[in-house]
């Protein structure tokens, strides 16, 4: 209940193949909160410092302080309306904080060119947002040069390289979302923001996208994945941050929240130990 | 049927009252089909007569050779301001509609009249300034409302698409281009269609008026063609100014899409 709680991304153990599809016991989710580490190999990709975002007199985010690491999948979870998507949108400056600071690799986001930043910090949205036209037309928006790079992008997400001429509206939801991921990868991002990208997908398509993304994290990409599905959190998270009503949950609240869902006991209460 | 009055082009008070028979027909249809539009029809007709009489009285003063040309220009300014206010009322969801409409209509009026008078297509006097500016403002008003409402609808309905473009690193101008283009096409196409159909499907007002007033058909046609091109130019200018200006209002300087009241994102 401490609104100024500083909750660094909670460390989870490293993912192993044995974890695939297995919800880990909540105790294994928990690790000691890490101390500030803004240099060296543990330098966070994003640091939020006392970030508040007010919209229509409501604090969508309330003095949020947290960090997201490099080369791993950080999951941002919490109930609907907790501010997860808003927090994600602050990372590529689709929104800006009312007060507080967001740092990207130690530099204040407000001082960076937003257009260059957005090419380094790619985003995949909740619903597949293919533009009108073919996949090639879509990819040309991200990378006008096209050619081999477009085919490589399709292959990178497991779609046939000869699909460039295929109209976007002929794809299934899962294929479209993979095409959106491919389009995002064409800007050469070092961070991927995934805003509940599997919310409208069936389980097989969800697993495909999860595996693609965790694979990208293994190659060194930082992934911040918003999800309210805690079995998904268990499958993909290296670290997690729990948001409750616009603020970062205390360790106790986070444990209770994650435990509640993993044990399928319904929505977690605020009964922090 | 009333060949004599057509050749003179003169409608007297008796004629005007007689023409109310046509309004009576409309009222009868409303009663028959229970449209509940009788009061509106009567009110609209009365307003039209009163407004036109008032405008006629003012025009009689403005067009008088003794009144300086500046009064005509003042009249044009009044039309632009009034039209901007009308646009604001007709498009309540559009942010900053009044200043944008003032700027777009002002620009369209200035540019088109400059061409008309600069190239000597019409002589510069009160008799040409006021009606030509009226054609510009009246026609531009409709297309400006369409353009403005369409831009807002596009950016509300396709907010996620616009933000997906921004998220790929596109500038707000590049990200908004397809939606501005769509709004602009929607605003301009009706006028293009009207231009195509002119003469075949309908006889436009200026030409009809000139012929009724006894002008030779060829002269009426030349005037009408020039007026149609004037309207095309005005509609394009004002729609473009409104769409582009409005699209800029919808982004911040650091390329973020502002939240619209209709937006659900």
pLDDT in tens, chain A (273 residues): 343 344 444 434 333 333 333 333 333 333 333 333 344 446 799 999 999 999 888 999 999 999 999 999 999 999 999 999 999 999 999 999 999 999 999 999 999 999 999 999 999 999 999 999 999 999 999 999 878 999 999 999 999 999 999 999 999 999 999 999 999 999 999 999 999 999 989 999 999 999 999 999 999 999 999 999 989 999 999 999 999 999 999 988 998 898 875 443 444 443 333
In this structure, are residues A9 and A30 in contact, taking their beta carbons and an 8 Å threshold?
no
Q: How far is the C-alpha of B207 from the C-alpha of B218, rounded, in Å?
A: 10
Report the alpha-carbon angle A103-B171-A46, nearest 5.
Answer: 15
- By C-alpha distance, the chain A residue nearest B163 is A94
Report the alpha-carbon angle B46-B47-B52, nearest 5.
Answer: 105
**B161–chain A nearest CA distance, Å:** 6
Residue A141: which of B160, B163, B168 has the nearest Cβ?
B168
> Which residue has tokens 């007569």?
B49
Give the pLDDT score at B8: 54
In this structure, are residues A243 and A249 in contact, taking their beta carbons and an 8 Å threshold?
yes
Give the pLDDT score at A42: 65
In this structure, are residues A191 and A159 in contact, taking their beta carbons and an 8 Å threshold?
no
> To 10 degrees, what angle do helices A135-142 and A148-156 make?
100
Return the number of other C-beta atoms located less than 10 Å from residue B2's C-beta: 9
Q: Is B126 helix (H, G, I), strand (E, B) or coil?
A: helix
Edge-to-edge strand ranges of the sheet holding A58-68: A58-68, A46-55, A99-104, A107-108
Give the pLDDT score at B62: 86
Partners of residue B178 in chain A, C-beta under 8 Å? 131-132
> CATH for A10-262, among 3.40.47.10, 1.10.3370.10, 3.40.50.300, 3.30.365.10?
3.40.50.300
Q: Which long-range contacts (CB under 8 A, 24 or more apart) does B26-33 make?
A: none
- By C-alpha distance, the chain B residue nearest A86 is B265
Give the pLDDT score at A167: 97
- By C-alpha distance, the chain A residue nearest B175 is A141
Please identify among residues 136-175 of chain A the ones whose CB lies closer than 8 Å to any CB of chain B: 141-142
Partners of residue B166 in chain A, C-beta under 8 Å? 94, 118
- By C-alpha distance, the chain A residue nearest B171 is A115
Q: Is A28 helix (H, G, I), strand (E, B) or coil?
A: helix
CA A135 to mean position of chain CA atoms: 24
Half-sphere exposure of A64 (CA within 13 A, CB side): 37
**CATH code, B68-249:** 1.20.1640
Ranges of chain B with pLDDT below 50: 1-7, 262-265
Give the pLDDT score at B158: 94
* Residue contact B169–A187, C-beta within 8 A: yes
Q: How far is the C-alpha of A7 from the C-alpha of A87, rounded, in Å?
A: 14
Q: Which of A94, A183, A200 to mutate to test the interface with B (most CBs of B within 10 A)?
A: A94
**B192–chain A nearest CA distance, Å:** 25
- By C-alpha distance, the chain B residue nearest A121 is B167
Q: Is A50 helix (H, G, I), strand (E, B) or coil?
A: strand
* Residue contact B163–A131, C-beta within 8 A: no
* Residues 6+ away with beta carbon under 8 Å from B126: B62, B63, B64, B67, B69, B71, B72
Give the pLDDT score at B9: 61
In degrees and rounded to multiples of 5, residue A157 shows phi and psi of: -105, 15
Residue A193, CA distances (Å) to A114, A180, B211 in order: 15, 12, 68
Which alpha helices (H) appear in chain B, and where do they start and end?
Answer: 3-8, 13-32, 38-62, 69-90, 97-118, 126-157, 159-167, 172-197, 205-212, 217-249
DSSP state of B121: S
Residue B36, CA distances (Å) to B40, B47, B49, B208 in order: 8, 18, 22, 32
What are the structure tokens assigned to A24, written together?
Answer: 């880990």
The verdict on A57 touching B (C-beta cutoff 8 Å) is no
What are the structure tokens assigned to B257, written together?
Answer: 């899409």
The strand pair at A121-124 and A191-195 is best described as: parallel
Give the pLDDT score at A232: 95
Q: Which of A53, A90, A129 to mutate to test the interface with B (most CBs of B within 10 A)?
A: A129
In this structure, are residues A94 and B256 in contact, taking their beta carbons and an 8 Å threshold?
yes
Q: Which of A142, A169, A177, A195 to mutate to test the interface with B (most CBs of B within 10 A)?
A: A142
Q: How far is the C-alpha of B181 from the C-alpha of B14, rounded, in Å?
A: 50
Q: How far is the C-alpha of A117 from the C-alpha of A122, rounded, in Å?
A: 9
Burial A5-36 (b: 16+ CB within 10 A, else e): bbbbbbbbeebeeebeeebbebeebbeeeeee
The verdict on A184 touching B (C-beta cutoff 8 Å) is yes
């Amino acid at each position: 209940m401490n609104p100024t709680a500083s909750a660094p991304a909670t460390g989870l153990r490293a993912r192993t193949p044995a974890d695939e599809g297995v919800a880990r016991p909540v105790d294994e989710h928990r690790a000691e909160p890490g101390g500030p580490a803004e240099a060296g190999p543990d330098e966070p990709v994003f640091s939020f410092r006392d970030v508040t975002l007010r919209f229509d007199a409501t604090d969508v985010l309330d003095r949020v302080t947290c960090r997201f690491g490099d080369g791993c999948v950080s999951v941002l979870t919490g109930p609907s309306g907790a501010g997860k998507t808003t927090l994600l949108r602050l990372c590529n400056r689709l929104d800006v904080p009312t007060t507080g600071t967001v740092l990207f690799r130690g530099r204040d986001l407000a001082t960076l060119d937003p257009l260059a930043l957005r090419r380094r910090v790619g985003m995949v949205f909740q619903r597949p947002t293919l533009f009108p036209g073919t996949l090639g037309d879509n990819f040309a928006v991200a990378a006008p040069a096209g050619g081999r790079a477009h085919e490589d992008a399709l292959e990178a997400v497991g779609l046939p390289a000869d699909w460039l001429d295929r109209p976007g509206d002929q794809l299934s939801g899962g294929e479209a979302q993979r095409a959106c991921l491919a389009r995002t990868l064409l800007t050469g991002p070092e961070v991927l923001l995934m805003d509940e990208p599997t919310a409208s997908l069936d389980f097989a398509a969800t697993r495909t996208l999860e595996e693609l993304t965790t694979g990208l994290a293994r190659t060194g990409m930082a992934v911040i994945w918003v999800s309210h599905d805690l079995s998904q959190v268990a499958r993909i998270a290296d670290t997690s941050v729990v948001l409750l009503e616009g603020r970062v949950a205390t360790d106790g609240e986070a444990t209770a929240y994650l435990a509640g869902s993993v044990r399928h006991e319904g929505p977690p209460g605020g009964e922090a130990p | 049927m009333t060949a004599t009055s057509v050749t003179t082009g003169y409608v007297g008070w008796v004629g005007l009252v007689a023409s109310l028979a046509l309004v009576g027909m409309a009222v009868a249809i409303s009663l028959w089909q229970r449209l509940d539009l009788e009061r509106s029809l009567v009110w609209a007709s009365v307003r039209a007569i009163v407004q036109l009489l008032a405008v006629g009285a003012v025009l009689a003063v403005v067009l008088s050779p003794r009144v300086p040309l500046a009064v005509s220009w003042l009249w044009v300014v009044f039309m632009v301001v009034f039209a901007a206010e009308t646009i604001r009322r007709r498009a309540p969801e559009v942010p900053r509609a009044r200043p944008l409409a003032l700027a777009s209509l002002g620009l369209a009026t200035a540019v088109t009249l400059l061409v008309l008078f600069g190239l000597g297509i019409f002589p510069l006097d009160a008799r040409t300034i006021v009606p030509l500016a009226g054609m510009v403002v009246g026609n531009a008003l409709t297309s400006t409302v369409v353009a403005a409402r369409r831009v807002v609808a596009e950016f509300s309905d396709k907010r996620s698409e616009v933000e997906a473009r921004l998220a790929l690193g596109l500038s707000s101008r590049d990200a908004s281009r397809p939606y501005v283009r769509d709004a602009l096409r929607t605003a301009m196409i009706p006028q293009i269609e009207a231009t195509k159909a002119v003469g075949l499907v309908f006889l436009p007002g200026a030409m009809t008026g000139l012929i009724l007033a006894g002008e030779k058909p060829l002269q009426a046609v030349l005037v009408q063609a020039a007026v149609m091109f004037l309207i095309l130019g005005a509609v394009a200018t004002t729609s473009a100014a409104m769409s582009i200006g409005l699209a800029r209002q919808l982004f911040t300087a650091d390329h973020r899409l502002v939240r619209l009241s209709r937006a659900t994102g």
